[in-house]
Structure 1
Amino acid sequence: MTSAQPNPLWHPFADMGAVDGDRFVVTRGEGSYVWDEDGERYFDATASLWYANFGHGREEITRAVTEQLRTLDSYNLFGYNATKPALELAERVSALAPVPGSKVFLGSGGGDVVDTAVKIARSYFAHTGRPEKVHVIGRVQGYHGTHGFGTAAGGIAVNAEGFGPQASGFSHIAWDSAEALEAEIQRVGPERVAAFFCEPVIGAGGVLLPPDGYIEAVAEICHRHDVLFVADCVIAAFGRLGTWFGIDRWPVRPDLITTAKGITGGTIPLGALLVAPRVAEPFFTGAPGAPVLRHGATYAGHPVACAAANATLDIYERDGLIPRGRELEKPLADALSGLRSHPLVGEVRAGLGFLAAVELRDDLLATDPGAPGRLQRLCRAEGVLVRPVGRGIVVSPPLIAAEPELDLLASALPRAMDRLV
């Protein structure tokens, strides 16, 4: 159903001239499904924006948030302030980290913690006698949010257009080449490179799966040149790839790990940056004149958000949801396999985690650049919500999805594709 009444709400990533009077208004959610204002039900095959990992309408979250609001509705973490929900969450996240003893810096979301990661990386080198190490390398098609440093680190060119000069000290390499990272470090100079940002699976850039051996290779290159390896796991963490953080599917030890989205199942905005002990150490000495990280968001580690996160971790643990991203990766790939032979499909990318992309053919996109958006609407007419991303559509269903939902994908997406032309 679309709303005929214009409204002043300005949507992110939207052509507002087209959106006005043509909104899809979601009014309710339960499990893997949401309902619109006309009462029509849809399979939320994108878990909203990659984050509703346990679906919608969890009473455990409602109870945790309600109790926290009654107990302490808000307080900041600046200076020596703390709250019990934030302390508990930091302990739990650190205990799960692939690098033991990691510190946890909380933010308001993924964009916050990406910018925090850049600042900490540069500050770490500044406080260990190498202030010239400030350069950050990202990957073409990588996505690291839309804050200042995240936009500069990201490699989706259109996301940086029209905003004027970006932050300096960033460059980008081919997303699938470890050799390109080595070459770029040598070009810039290892003595000047602070960090490399790497999504385990590139998400918003089109669900691009890393080549075999890629993650291990870039981690080794970073270690050899003393470049901090930043694993951006905002999408990958909390079960999406079948492990707690996504990057822990590979035998690597990231220096920093960005997380958000699934940490609360999307119920309340929150982000958490994991910082390996060696990177955090200069800020934790307690010595006179020790460096202070003069950075943080007003609502970082908000007690209500942390209460939601603690309840979320309980759900993941109790219901055994974290491994499901791995258990469901093949069934999802199988459900989409019929699309590989469709005449309008150029490629189906699936098989690593519970997410996938269906890319349209080059000739179709050349004549109809708006085809991904039209395909999204056609899928919605079939009762399935997908996202148009770049050259096609992506799916990332809730981890609670099961055979009926996968069967729906297997039947609905080909029907929508058949109606595309």
Structure 2
Amino acid sequence: MEEKNKHSKLEAYWMGYTANQHFKAHPRLLEKAKGMYYWTPEGRQILDATAGLWCVNAGHNREKIVAAVQQQVATLDYAPAFQMGHPKAFELAEKLIAITPEDLNHVFFTNSGSESVDTSLKIALAYHQITGEGRRTRLIGRERAYHGVNFGGMSVGGISVNRKLFPNLLAQVDHLPHTHDLARNQFSLGQPVYGVEKADQLEQLLLLHDPSTVAAVIIEPVAGSTGVLVPPINYLQRIREICDQYGVLLIFDEVITGFGRLGEPFAANYFGVTPDIMVTAKGLTNGSVPMGAVFVRDKIYNAFYQDDATAINIYHGYTYSAHPLACAAALATLETYHDENLLHRAAELADYWQEGLHSLVNSPYVIDIRNLGLVGAIELEPKKNKPTERAFKAYLDAFEQGVLIRTTGDIIALSPPLIVSRSEIEHIISMLKQVLSKLK
């Protein structure tokens, strides 16, 4: 016991996606939050420019959400998820399908984006099995894609550092090329002009493997965690056309883009492209209680109906699917979004956000700036033989300056809560200008 006590009190917690040694030597702790801000244990105020982890879309510690969760835990703390239900689960499902794109009228509840992705892949595979197309077992993702950390999501994902330590990923998976084209689309305002032809490589992949063996294509409408890669004009429309032509299901991973990030309820609304399956999480409960949701078209849901009314429809689910606390949080979150028109507020601020971001174009080492809705990225020239060092230094400096940003590789990613004011946008941009000016 005496030996254990010699260790730092921070050592017991093995943190994910964290440089543990650096963090525990220089901890960055957040003790409370409200609105657009965090506070450290020492009382320093930190402006949140990342909505937590892309999830706190309505801002922190919203009274309606807090009250709903408090009341729910005192009323019904848990209900079995299999062969049982509770009223709020069905109420939430109805309210969600009221804002989803056409024909996405059924929802399967999960507990995270990673679970939502794996659920969507399982539904796609099972759908083809029960509709007589059991040869459709191949899945297609995309390079630089992030689809969570479960085995299915990592398999269709395309970020190499996420995959290299885990060799036994799913077989029969292929990947589209990513759409990032720095040479032709550098400093694009909104959607890039060039690159729609990259969608045609989906048809080449399908023909290579035989289209009748491909079950689904999964795509982030805007690739978030890899550094905000905005799709070229008409790219998603072309992907939809090819999937329709060859009978392949299209899955949108909207874990980041869902719930107002682009100025519409979902990216599918924004781009006018409806997938067959839509994956969500994060903003569903404003980050307050873990929850995810997978939406499916009527034809998929109906395919699982059984002649025997007592037969189980799908052998899949989670102990905490539609957890009462999560449902209460999600209902209050949707009400907050509605009351303050937050699902459309990004559209009101998009031009101002774009102008602010692109004002940094001449800052040192900035090689690209990307934006859409209320999401943005500043790509930095990597330091020779020291990739990621420059962006990580910017991250640490920004935190010391009182603003929380996010970095991925040598890219600064930004996604403030949808309640952000113009003055707060100005503060974020001003701080970034100072931070970037100090980079070496």
TM-score range with shorter-chain normalisation?
over 0.9
The structural deviation recorded for 1:309 is: 0.1
The structural deviation recorded for 1:111 is: 0.7
Q: State the alpha-carbon separation in 1 of the partners of residues 439 and 400 from structure 2.
A: 12
Instruction: Tell whether the 8 Å contact from 2:81 to 2:321 is kept in structure 1 after alignment.
Output: yes
Counterparts of residues 20-419 of structure 1 (less than 5 Å): 20-79=24-83, 81-100=84-103, 102-176=105-179, 177-287=198-308, 292-350=313-371, 352-362=372-382, 364=383, 366-367=385-386, 369-419=388-438
What letter matches 1:387 in structure 2?
R
The structural deviation recorded for 1:284 is: 2.6
The structural deviation recorded for 1:391 is: 2.0
Q: State the alpha-carbon separation in 2 of the partners of residues 68 and 369 from structure 1.
A: 43
Tell me: CA distance 1:414–1:125, structure 2 relative to 1, closer, same or farther (3 Å). same
Q: State the alpha-carbon separation in 1 of the partners of residues 80 and 225 from structure 2.
A: 32
Residue deviations 1:124-178, cap 9 Å, x none? 0000111110111111111110011001111111101112221112111112210
Asked whether 1:6 is paired with 2:27, we answer no
Give the 3-state SS of the residue equivalent to 2:31 in structure 1: strand
The structural deviation recorded for 1:277 is: 0.6
Instruction: Tell whether the 8 Å contact from 2:226 to 2:408 is kept in structure 1 after alignment.
Output: yes
The structural deviation recorded for 1:392 is: 1.5
TM-score when scaled to structure 1? 0.95
Tell me: CA distance 1:47–1:131, structure 2 relative to 1, closer, same or farther (3 Å). same
Instruction: Tell whether the 8 Å contact from 2:387 to 2:409 is kept in structure 1 after alignment.
Output: no
5+ unaligned residues in a row in structure 2: which ranges?
A: 1-7, 180-197
Instruction: Tell whether the 8 Å contact from 1:263 to 1:271 is kept in structure 2 after alignment.
Output: yes
The structural deviation recorded for 1:325 is: 1.9
Residue deviations 1:32-55, cap 9 Å, x none? 110111100011000010001011
**Further displaced range: 211-220 or 240-249:** 240-249
What letter matches 2:346 in structure 1?
G
The structural deviation recorded for 1:22 is: 2.0
Q: State the alpha-carbon separation in 2 of the partners of residues 183 and 390 from structure 1.
A: 30
The structural deviation recorded for 1:5 is: 4.8
Q: State the alpha-carbon separation in 1 of the partners of residues 126 and 22 from structure 2.
A: 44
Instruction: Tell whether the 8 Å contact from 1:283 to 1:291 is kept in structure 2 after alignment.
Output: no
What letter matches 1:395 in structure 2?
L
The structural deviation recorded for 1:291 is: 6.4
The structural deviation recorded for 1:366 is: 4.3
Instruction: Tell whether the 8 Å contact from 2:364 to 2:437 is kept in structure 1 after alignment.
Output: no
The structural deviation recorded for 1:372 is: 1.2
Give the 3-state SS of the residue equivalent to 2:416 in structure 1: coil
Tell me: CA distance 1:288–1:210, structure 2 relative to 1, closer, same or farther (3 Å). same
Q: Which residue of structure 1 lines up, in the alignment, with residue 185 of structure 2?
A: none
Q: State the alpha-carbon separation in 2 of the partners of residues 27 and 237 from structure 1.
A: 27
Give the 3-state SS of the residue equivalent to 1:57 in structure 2: coil
Q: State the alpha-carbon separation in 1 of the partners of residues 398 and 100 from structure 2.
A: 38
Q: Which residue of structure 1 lines up, in the alignment, with residue 195 of structure 2?
A: none
The structural deviation recorded for 1:331 is: 1.3
Q: State the alpha-carbon separation in 2 of the partners of residues 337 and 142 from structure 1.
A: 25
Instruction: Tell whether the 8 Å contact from 2:364 to 2:436 is kept in structure 1 after alignment.
Output: no
Give the 3-state SS of the residue equivalent to 2:319 in structure 1: coil
Residue deviations 1:45-89, cap 9 Å, x none? 00010001011111111110111112111112212x111111111
TM-score when scaled to structure 2? 0.91
The structural deviation recorded for 1:179 is: 1.2
Tell me: CA distance 1:299–1:290, structure 2 relative to 1, closer, same or farther (3 Å). closer
5+ unaligned residues in a row in structure 1: which ranges?
A: none
RMSD: 1.5
The structural deviation recorded for 1:251 is: 2.2
The structural deviation recorded for 1:412 is: 0.3
Q: State the alpha-carbon separation in 2 of the partners of residues 367 and 170 from structure 1.
A: 32
Identity of aligned residues (%): 35
Instruction: Tell whether the 8 Å contact from 2:120 to 2:277 is kept in structure 1 after alignment.
Output: yes
Instruction: Tell whether the 8 Å contact from 1:27 to 1:36 is kept in structure 2 after alignment.
Output: yes
Tell me: CA distance 1:52–1:173, structure 2 relative to 1, closer, same or farther (3 Å). same
Instruction: Tell whether the 8 Å contact from 1:142 to 1:205 is kept in structure 2 after alignment.
Output: yes
Give the 3-state SS of the residue equivalent to 1:340 in structure 2: coil
